[in-house]
Structures are given as structure tokens and as C-alpha cells.
Structure 1
Amino acid sequence: MKNLTDMMKQAQQLQSKLADTQAELENAEVEGSSGAGLVKVTLSGKGSMKRLHIDPSLMKPDEAEILEDLIVAAFNDGKTKAEALVADRMKELTGGLPLPPGMNFGL
């Protein structure tokens, strides 16, 4: 019976740590950029875009397609960094134990 009590206690501690980590990731910021920094996006640690900066030199009607490509590239760069941040936090929570792909407990 003691083992079950210990397991329940550990599960509650993990649940609390997960909630703390979710809040931390929502407040964390990562920056993605492209075009040598001419386009920058700031994302939360959970991947939602918070800010977009476009250098005024790119604001030309005849360069719209280039600008669109740079925005997508900057977002993808930031998303990759946000995913790496989540992976790092999961390693901390699980003590480095590998989890099945996609099992990130909603982080």
C-alpha cells in the first residue's frame, strides 16, 4: 500500500511541475529571424506569435513575395527554437527519460 501512496504523491508532484512549466513556457520568449535579421518574430515558448518586426527597407510593393518568404522563414526559425525549449523542459521534468514521440503533456 505504501508503494501506491508514493506513486500517487509522485504523480501529484509531476502534475504540479507540469502546470508550473506550462506557465513558464507561456511567459518565455524565443526569437526567430531571417534575411540577416531584417525580419524578426517573437514567439511564446508554446509557439504563439507575440511580435513581428519588419525592417522598413523591405516595405516595397515589388518585394512583397520576398517579404512573405522572409516572414515564413522567421516564424519557422522561432517555432524550431520554441520546440527545442519545450524539449529541454521535458527532459528536466522526466529526468532525461525518453518519452514516446508526441507525448509532451500539453507543453
Structure 2
Amino acid sequence: MPVENGEFVRRILDTVGGRWPLLVLAHLDGGPRRYRELEQVLTGISQRMLTLTLHRLGEDGLISRASFAEMPPRVEYSLTPLGKSLLDAAAGLVRWVSDHHSAIDRARRPGR
């Protein structure tokens, strides 16, 4: 598959191809979430990694951040239409992983 703008494609794939970005997007698919809510559902993510992931997803226009002037201050993260379209495209990959889980598991075992 020929790739135009290879550097740009690489940067976006670096952003979304890590351990957490698609999981963050999936959790935002149900509606806006606060930082603490995301931290609770993403078991094992560090505060630094969640902050970095949210920042990168925001930079690429995949999520939006809304601040509310109330006490205590409140911030919510939401999926943008662009983020939703990425999540929809990734659904095929997730389905593939699900369909091939057993074969992948077997291939990963030593002494196959």
C-alpha cells in the first residue's frame, strides 16, 4: 500500500498505536469523562501517561477538552467527530484480533 506523506502518517500512528490511546478513545465513546474517571477505568495507566495521552490526542483533534468555571474546577474530555471516525476504523482491527485470538495465542507460545 503506497503511503503519501509518510512522516505525517508515522506521527499519527505513533500517537494512536501505543498501549493507551485507543482505549482512551473507546472510553470516551460513551460520552464526556473527567480525568479521574478515565484514570479509574484505565487500570495500570500512570498519571503522567494519561496526561501525555490526552494531550497528544487533543493535539491531533481526536478529543476535545472543556473547562468549566466552577468550584472545584471541572474538566471534561470528549471524543470529537474525527476521533469517532478513527474509533470506527479501528473497530475492524479489534474485530480481527478477537476473531484470531486463539491463533495468536498459539503462535506466541514457546515450542509451538
Normalising TM by the smaller chain, what interval?
Answer: under 0.3
Which has the larger strand fraction? Answer: 1
Higher relative contact order (CA 8 A, sep 6+): 1
In our comparison, the structure showing a higher alpha carbon Rg is: 1
TM-score where L is the length of structure 2: 0.24
